[in-house]
Structure 1
Amino acid sequence: MMLYKKGSLLLMLVALSLIAMAQDVKIAAAANLQSVIKPLAAEFKKQTGITVTAIHGASGKLTAQSMNGAPYDIFLSADVAFTQTLYNKGYSINKPMVYALGSLILCSQRPFDTKRWKKWLTDKSTQKIAIANPSTAPYGKAAIQVLKADALLTTLKPRLVYGESIAQVNTYITTGVVSVGFTTEALIRDPQLKTKLYWLKMDNNNYSPIKQAMVLLKAGKNKAGAQKFYEFLLSPAAKRIFKQYGYQVK
């Protein structure tokens, strides 16, 4: 009798474990979300017991991966356009939903006069300026818009160093490979950041709003965990975390 009970208990634990694994969520997340996804996933697991695994990269590359069969349940892009593409081509089961607005900053290990930042950028001492690839990374596209708006692109184009994603730009900045870079405000809001950085928020009138949007992909259609995490990202708890990392939320 005791052996039967122990066997039943073991089977029940195995079944519960399999159910939990089936609910685990795999997401594709824009590189600018690398730091904020950690506390979001931790809070979600605290509430539900469901684990979230994130694959980060440039939004354009993650879009291509999603269309080529990558088993992502949810895609969190750095803009609406890439999620709209997935929806239009039938790879998602819902229209894009904006979860946050991103903020572009100029950031460096070197102190600079924030009132004369344009002059500093054009100075000969500022040799390398990092931006994310504007064709695949929305923050890179925003950086190009800022440079054009301030009539700096032609002058500075030879000094631009392109990162594959905003994560690579952040590495360039924090390791001192470049003099300065255009990146996400989330970088300097990350409590795990150890490097002292100087930064200036760019005028958001000089670039298109970085409307970060998400879609539930077909792989997550019948996964309760994916639906729960999608809804969680729009919850007050998630919005508080996004705000802590420099994002704007409604």
Structure 2
Amino acid sequence: MKSTFFTFILLLPICLSCQQKPTEKITIATAANMQFAMKALTEAFKEYHQIDCELIISSSGKLTAQIKEGAPYDVFVGANMKYPEAIFQSGLAAHSPRIYAKGKLVLWTMDEEIEVSLDILSFPEIDHIALANPKTAPYGIAAMDVLNHYQLIDQVKEKLVYGESIAQTNQFITSKAAKIGFTAMSVVLSPEMKGKGKWLEIDPSTYRSIDQGVVLLKKEGKDIKDAQLFYDFLFSSEAHKILNDYGYLVE
């Protein structure tokens, strides 16, 4: 009886994620800033094509490492072009990456007593400032660009706390483990977070353009037509409307 129970527990997550035949599901490795927008995109995609999508959410750097180590993903939706380009240069992509959107950076707090501004970052009452790890997350790189642009880095470097991705950074902010932090505009505009806390859009001229890239991955011995459908869908007018709603720039 005990072994039967554990077998059921082990199989349950697999059964829940496979509503259709395994061949009709695509696995999308998604940069954490796209977590909420990607949910909306995959729901719209399924309405059109009746194909399920499984999302693997992490930082672009970690996802790139996983793909190079053989992770069975079908599409990689990155937070910049660097990592999708690295996948292409490694010979793991069906073709070169394309920019599907440009991201925007915001400063966000859950503390209602704080008036959000860059100046406040150096104030004594701000003890922790959250941002994604700039070694693996493009939005973390953008946040560091901003701190350097405004010559704040020396004043705040001891306050910085790094999330492994935007998702963990958001946890620091929403839990108030950090009084304030940098995140993607798509997060604060998402249905899950809209109206929570206060935020300030950062001047895009103060950080390098967050050109977000997507690449279709090679799958030896597997038909990639479903993954190609999703890749193409990202550049459709329907997808562009969703991306715009989440604060992304699209061409």
The TM-score normalised by the length of structure 2 is 0.88
Q: Any gaps of 5 or more consecutive residues in structure 1?
A: 1-16
- Aligned partner of 1:135 in structure 2 is 135
Q: Report the residue type matching 2:193 in the other structure.
A: L
Deviation of 1:222 (Å): 2.6
Percent identity of paired positions between Structure 1 and Structure 2: 40
Q: Report the residue type matching 1:140 in the other structure.
A: G
CA–CA distance in structure 1, aligned partners of residues 86 and 194 of structure 2: 37
Q: Which has the larger radius of gyration?
A: 1
- Aligned partner of 2:207 in structure 1 is 207
Q: Which moved more, 1:193-202 or 1:178-187?
A: 193-202
CA RMSD of aligned residues (A): 1.8
- Aligned partner of 1:238 in structure 2 is 239
Q: Report the residue type matching 1:172 in the other structure.
A: F
1:88-103 correspondence runs (5 A): 88-103=89-104
SS at match of 1:218: coil
CA–CA distance in structure 1, aligned partners of residues 204 and 19 of structure 2: 47
CA–CA distance in structure 2, aligned partners of residues 20 and 50 of structure 1: 9
Bigger proportion of residues as helix: 1
Is contact 1:22–1:223 with CA below 8 Å preserved after alignment? no
- Aligned partner of 2:76 in structure 1 is 75
CA–CA distance in structure 1, aligned partners of residues 234 and 88 of structure 2: 19
- Aligned partner of 1:66 in structure 2 is 67
CA–CA distance in structure 2, aligned partners of residues 160 and 33 of structure 1: 23
CA–CA distance in structure 1, aligned partners of residues 119 and 180 of structure 2: 13
- Aligned partner of 1:217 in structure 2 is 217
CA–CA distance in structure 1, aligned partners of residues 119 and 76 of structure 2: 39
Distance 1:126 1:231, change over 3 A: same
- Aligned partner of 1:148 in structure 2 is 148
CA–CA distance in structure 2, aligned partners of residues 152 and 182 of structure 1: 14
Q: Which moved more, 1:103-112 or 1:210-219?
A: 103-112
SS at match of 1:225: helix
Q: What does the per-residue CA deviation read over 1:199-242, in whole Å, with 9 as the maximum and x for residues that have no partner? A: 10111111110000000011287321101000001100011111
Q: What does the per-residue CA deviation read over 1:27-84, in whole Å, with 9 as the maximum and x for residues that have no partner? A: 1000011111111111111101000111000000000000000000010000000111
Deviation of 1:119 (Å): 2.6
Is contact 2:106–2:201 with CA below 8 Å preserved after alignment? yes
SS at match of 1:219: coil
Structure 1 runs (4+) deviating above 6 angstroms are: none
Q: Any gaps of 5 or more consecutive residues in structure 2?
A: 1-17
Is contact 2:20–2:52 with CA below 8 Å preserved after alignment? no
Is contact 1:23–1:226 with CA below 8 Å preserved after alignment? no
The TM-score normalised by the length of structure 1 is 0.89
Q: Which moved more, 1:53-62 or 1:85-94?
A: 85-94
Alignment: residue pair count:
232
- Aligned partner of 2:29 in structure 1 is 28
Deviation of 1:18 (Å): 11
Q: What does the per-residue CA deviation read over 1:162-213, in whole Å, with 9 as the maximum and x for residues that have no partner? A: 0000000111111111010000001111112277211101111111100000
CA–CA distance in structure 2, aligned partners of residues 125 and 101 of structure 1: 33
Q: Which moved more, 1:18-27 or 1:170-179?
A: 18-27
Deviation of 1:21 (Å): 2.9
SS at match of 1:32: helix
